[in-house]
Structure 1
Amino acid sequence: MNEWLKNGFFLGLGAAVAGTEKVQTYLDDLVSRGRITPKEAEQFADELIKRGETKEQEWTESSKTKMKSMFNDMGLATRDDLERVEEKLTHLESLLKERQMKDRNDDNE
């Protein structure tokens, strides 16, 4: 599963880099032909970056939700589940130690 996520990340990263390069080439071409100014090209590129970041955040949140749902459907424990189990285990261990100490004290009397 981890390899699958990593491959998906690199695929997205590669697409973003390729897309960025194509946009920059297109903007450079528009500037060289005098259709837009360098400042307009920069503003357009900045706007695209902002939109991309917004979409990335939306995708990340959506992906997290879907992954949590998938893990839940598969019956996998969450981090919170594991922390609750660890707390219970720690509590039970301390109760067991107390009981063992009490039993030893009762045996010594």
Structure 2
Amino acid sequence: MKNTINQFISLGLGLAAASKEQVEKMVNDLVARGEVSKNDSKDMVNQLLEKGYQAKKEMDGVVKTKVQQALKELDVVTMEEYRELERRIAVLEQKSE
């Protein structure tokens, strides 16, 4: 049982992408095989869902960092920089009127 759960947990992407229904089905299969007690199944579902949430959160952070690095390397203007330039242009236009 622990091997099955550890394999599922080690696949962080799989766990992050798994829906609550998929996790419940996996745990119910373990209960049916006698590898997990019915009493422990709800806690296991909650733990797996929390691990999936954490894996997704970490993955989102990594993706965001990588995208920001790529944009910086490509010298692409960010929306924040663009809006700052618009603001500065508006100020200069008001001064010239």
- Tell me the TM-score normalised to structure 2 length: 0.70
Q: Which amino acid counterpart does residue 65 of structure 2 have in structure 1?
A: T
Partner Cα distance (2:18, 2:51) in 1:
15
Query: In the superposition, relative to structure 1, how do residues 36 and 17 fare at CA in structure 2: closer, same or farther (>3 Å)?
Result: closer
Q: Are the counterparts in 1 of residues 24 and 45 from structure 2 also a CA contact under 8 Å?
A: yes
Ranges in structure 1 where 5+ consecutive residues have no aligned partner? 1-11, 98-109
Partner Cα distance (2:49, 2:26) in 1:
15
Partner Cα distance (1:57, 1:42) in 2:
23
Partner Cα distance (1:81, 1:27) in 2:
48
Q: Which amino acid counterpart does residue 60 of structure 2 have in structure 1?
A: T
Task: Measure how far apart 1:37 and its partner are.
Answer: 2.1
Partner Cα distance (1:49, 1:82) in 2:
39
- Tell me the TM-score normalised to structure 1 length: 0.63
Q: Which amino acid counterpart does residue 69 of structure 2 have in structure 1?
A: S
Query: Counterparts in 2 of 1:17-56, with a 5 A limit?
Result: 17=18, 21=22, 23-56=23-56
Q: Which amino acid counterpart does residue 66 of structure 1 have in structure 2?
A: K
Q: Which amino acid counterpart does residue 54 of structure 2 have in structure 1?
A: T
Q: Are the counterparts in 1 of residues 18 and 52 from structure 2 also a CA contact under 8 Å?
A: no
Q: Which has the higher contact order (CA 8 A, sep 6+)?
A: 2
Task: Report runs of 4+ in structure 1 exceeding 4 Å deviation.
Answer: none
Query: Counterparts in 2 of 1:6-17, with a 5 A limit?
Result: 16-17=17-18
Deviations 1:40-87 (A, max 9, x none): 111111111101111111111111111011011111111221121011
Q: Which has the larger radius of gyration?
A: 1
1:65 aligns with 2:73: no
Match of 1:5 in 2: none
Structure 1 or 2: larger helix share? 1
CA RMSD of aligned residues (A): 2.6
Sequence identity, in percent?
A: 22
